Amino acid sequence: MPSMNMVLIFSFLLFSLGVVGVLIRRNALIILMCAELMLNAANINLIAFARHSGTVAGQAFALLVMGLAAAEVAIGLAIVVALYRRKNTITVDEIHLLKG
């Protein structure tokens, strides 16, 4: 079994990779995948702390975050498909639909 420090370091690296991906990449699908990485890192933290404390509250919150991630993927992918049909691109620099 990995120690708590190793799990937290792994979670930190996974979250950092997600943040870097969101900040650097311009493809909307890649940005959504990086947001999923950040949510998975949060799930790893919740489950690790639940295991450390001996309660199931962290696991319950992790299930809630998984549901949130599924909703985010469904809505985000629908928005990306709609934008692609309208503008024929999924690069976020070229999409200016929300500007007044």
Q: What is the DSSP string of 32-51?
A: HHHHHHHHHHHHHHHHHHHH
Entry pTM: 0.86
CATH code of the domain in which 69 resides: 1.10.287.3510
pLDDT confidence bin for 4, thresholds 50/70/90: very high
- Structural domain includes residue 92: no
Residues 6+ apart with CB under 8 A from 21: 30, 31, 33, 34, 37
Taking residues 35-64, report their average pLDDT.
93
Q: Examine residue 69 and state whether it is found in any structural domain, yes or no.
A: yes
- Per the structure, the count of domains in the chain is 1
Asked if residue 4 lies in contact with residue 48, where contact means CB atoms within 8 angstroms, the answer is yes
- For residue 34, what are its two tokens? 């990086």
- 37 with 15: CB under 8 angstroms? yes
